[in-house]
Homo-oligomer: A and B are copies of this chain.
Amino acid sequence: MLTPFVAVDVTVLDTNLRAMADHAAAHGVALRPHAKTHKSPEIARRQLALGATGLTVATVSEAEVFADAGDLFIAYPIWPSDEQVARLRALRERTALRIGVDSAESAEALGRALPGLEVLVEVDSGHHRSGVVPAEAGAVAVAADKADLLVRGVFTFPGHAYGPSRQQPAVDQESAALAEAAAALTAHGLDASVRSGGSTPTAALTGDTLTEMRPGVYVFGDAQQVELGTCGWGRVALTVTATVVSRSGQRFILDAGSKVLGADQQAWATGGGRLLDLPDARIVALSEHHATVVLPEGQPVPRRGDRIRVVPNHVCATVNLADELIVTENGTPVDRWPVSARGANT
């Protein structure tokens, strides 16, 4: 097979899927995995078979790909342009649908266009992206209710958990923010029965506030999760197989660069990804088609033509660059799964 290619170890994948399903069940929390990570109907099917309550998606076009799941949450404050409204109307004919809202203005526009649509109010729990501060959640919910939307609760994304030792503080903030926002809805006589949050780095710490969690990355794991300590090497299900094309001293070059791995690199990352079988190696630079790797002095350097498995930093980006995933079992390719929602950005 030509390199680079994106391979998924189906045994590890299934272990990851089952472990998260069991974890959610043990804590009495609904699992609504984020499909943005895998973008693959075959993996969604496995998640639902293991008891997922539905799927989370980020965009309307992802929702269109996964409508057969039957129960979708678009965890995004969609602005209802005429074109988006037409697509959301068509989607509602195909699946139970819930979307995010984070302002009275968008609630009013959504309600006019799609009366009766279920919504969750998005709350900023410290990531400072979209979402309102908890104190404003009540006002947004009241506006949504008046606009003929069906308010079901609140949601947040604790994205600030992506950093060393930041998981517990982020979970504490998430719990507090969702609890405060839910109380505000209840005070207005509105339904706050859904309190949705969670992410892969915080999944193990799920507290008492959440009723629903939306992890995505857990299906594959990636170098970020390994370096955060939220995923062991043995739970990395997706790698990019690359070929050594050049070498000089302790440096060698792989034919996998940012156009297959993605360029995501947090400030705390050790490099542009990791090598599954060479844990001491560091990807010191990533060009579009080159990974520049350095091994410590004394460690044997792979030869030209050798094949090496790269663990990408952020697996969501990697999958979104691939047309298909090569499915392997005990190292042997057994299937190919299309990345049906690749590029589904609108």
Residues in A lying within 8 Å of B, measured CB to CB: 1-5, 36, 58-59, 76-79, 81, 83-84, 102-103, 105-106, 124, 128-132, 159, 243-248, 251, 253, 255-256, 258-260, 262-265, 285, 287-290, 292, 304-305, 314, 316-317, 320-323, 343, 345-346
Question: Cα distance A84–B1 when bound, in Å?
Answer: 10
Interface residue from B36, B79, B248 paired with A243 (Cβ < 8 Å): B79
Question: Cα distance A343–B289 when bound, in Å?
Answer: 11
| Known contacts A2-B346, A4-B346; 10 further A-B pairs (Cβ under 8 A) | A2-B83, A77-B245, A79-B244, A103-B246, A103-B247, A128-B285, A130-B290, A132-B248, A260-B345, A263-B264
14 CB contacts below 8 A, A to B, read A2-B346, A36-B288, A58-B289, A77-B245, A79-B245, A106-B304, A128-B251, A129-B246, A129-B285, A129-B287, A129-B290, A258-B262, A263-B263, A263-B317
A131 surroundings in chain B (CB, below 8 A): 246
Question: Cα distance A5–B316 when bound, in Å?
Answer: 20
- Minimum CB–CB distance from A282 to chain B (whole Å) comes to 14
- Minimum CB–CB distance from A73 to chain B (whole Å) comes to 14
Closest to A136 in B: B248
Interface residue from B129, B260, B264, B287 paired with A159 (Cβ < 8 Å): B287
Beyond A304-B103, A304-B105, is A288–B259 a contact (Cβ under 8 Å)?
no
Closest to A314 in B: B263
A130 touches B245 (CB 8 A): yes
A314 surroundings in chain B (CB, below 8 A): 263
Interface residue from B130, B243, B304 paired with A246 (Cβ < 8 Å): B130
B258 touches A317 (CB 8 A): yes
Closest to A264 in B: B263
A83 surroundings in chain B (CB, below 8 A): 1-2
Closest to A133 in B: B248
A253 surroundings in chain B (CB, below 8 A): 77, 129-130
Interface residue from B103, B244, B245, B321 paired with A321 (Cβ < 8 Å): B321
Closest to A289 in B: B58
Interface residue from B105, B289, B316 paired with A288 (Cβ < 8 Å): B316
A84 surroundings in chain B (CB, below 8 A): 2
- Of residues A79, A83, A260, which shows the largest number of chain B Cβ atoms within 10 Å of its Cβ? A79
Question: Cα distance A253–B316 when bound, in Å?
Answer: 20
Question: Cα distance A127–B99 when bound, in Å?
Answer: 47
A77 surroundings in chain B (CB, below 8 A): 245-246, 253
Question: Cα distance A244–B314 when bound, in Å?
Answer: 25
A78 touches B263 (CB 8 A): no
Question: Cα distance A314–B1 when bound, in Å?
Answer: 30
A264 touches B258 (CB 8 A): yes
Question: Cα distance A273–B301 when bound, in Å?
Answer: 37
